[in-house]
Amino acid sequence: MTTLTLADALPLFGHFLVLSLLAIGGAIVVAPEMHRLMVGQLHLLDDVQFNASIALAQAAPGPNVLFVAVLGYQAAGLAGAAVTLAGIMLPSTLLAIGATRWAQARQHRIGIRAFKAGLAPITIALLAATGWVLTAQNPTPPVIILTAITALFAWLTRIHVLWLIAAGAIAGAAGLV
């Protein structure tokens, strides 16, 4: 864990501000860019720390965005957690409040309905990219197959995602992946 100076905190905060505006479908969809920045460019984390941070935060109860705070904490303690979480939450929260109020007042317009429908494929593609990055860390056939099966179950059934997470945990505990 490194000490976060103001010179390091401002660019990290700024990067997470921008990522917030790109996170259509939740912060997890920009995890590949977070990986590129925190592991590849800034070397604040390694691959194992990055993946463990996401897994830990996703297993914990609460909002999915918690993984951002865990990444920041792993990189630079409480200051890192505060910088990354504030950066990812501030713009998207303000934009969501403003856009929701604006769209609610105009919900009958065809452009508003088309915009909402058009975001679905973008969200799906960004989630697929996140799955790819996380699977690429251990690209063995069992991991790839389990990832594909999980994606299909999530897409084609109404099985709650927690059951899929539990199945992955059981497969991991059994040594299958």
Amino acid at 99: A
User: Cβ neighbours of residue 60 under 8 Å, at least 6 residues apart?
Assistant: 66
Cα separation, 143 vs 156, whole angstroms: 20
Residues, the chain: 177
26-57 residue pLDDT tens = 888 899 999 999 999 989 999 999 999 898 88
pTM over 0.85: no
Cα separation, 151 vs 62, whole angstroms: 22
Going by C-alpha positions, the residue among 26, 9, 24, 30 that lies closest to residue 86 is 9
The DSSP code for 41 is: I
Cα separation, 2 vs 106, whole angstroms: 48
User: Is the separation of the CB atoms in 50 and 148 below 8 Å?
Assistant: no
Q: What is the pLDDT along the chain (177 residues), one digit of tens a residue?
A: 667 777 778 889 999 999 998 888 788 889 999 999 999 998 999 999 999 989 888 888 778 888 999 999 988 889 999 999 999 999 988 988 998 899 899 989 999 889 888 988 887 888 788 788 878 888 888 888 888 888 888 889 988 878 888 888 888 888 877
